[in-house]
Amino acid sequence: MTKSSFSKPTESELQILQILWQDGPSPVRYVNDLINEKRDTDKKIVGYTTTLKLMQLMLEKGLVERDTTTRTHIYKALVDETTTQQNLVDKFIDTTFRGSAMKLVMQALGNHEASKEELDEIKKLIAKMEE
Partner DNA sequence: GCAATTATACGATAAGTTTCGTACTTGTGC
Partner DNA sequence: GCACAAGTACGAAACTTATCGTATAATTGC
Site size toward DNA (CB under 7 A) is: 24
Residue 96 binds to its own copies (criterion: CB under 8 A): yes
Q: How far apart are the first and last CA of the chain?
A: 28
Q: What is the DSSP letter of 85?
A: H
Mark residues 104-123: x for contact with its own copies by CB under 8 A, - for none: xxxxxxxxx-x-x-xx-xxx
**Residue 67 interacting entry, from its own copies, DNA, none, C-beta within 5 to 8 Å by type:** none
CA of 100: how far to CAs of 5, 76, 103, 126, in Å?
22, 34, 5, 17
Q: Is 70 one of the binding residues for DNA (CB under 7 A)?
A: yes
Phi first, then psi: give them for residue 63, nearest 5 degrees: -80, -30
CA–CA separation, 78 vs 84, rounded Å? 11
45 binds its own copies (CB under 8 A): no
Return the CA Rg of the chain: 18
Residues that bind its own copies (CB under 8 A): 3-4, 11, 14-15, 18, 22, 40, 42, 82, 85-86, 88-90, 92-93, 95-98, 101-112, 114, 116, 118-119, 121-123, 125-126, 129-130
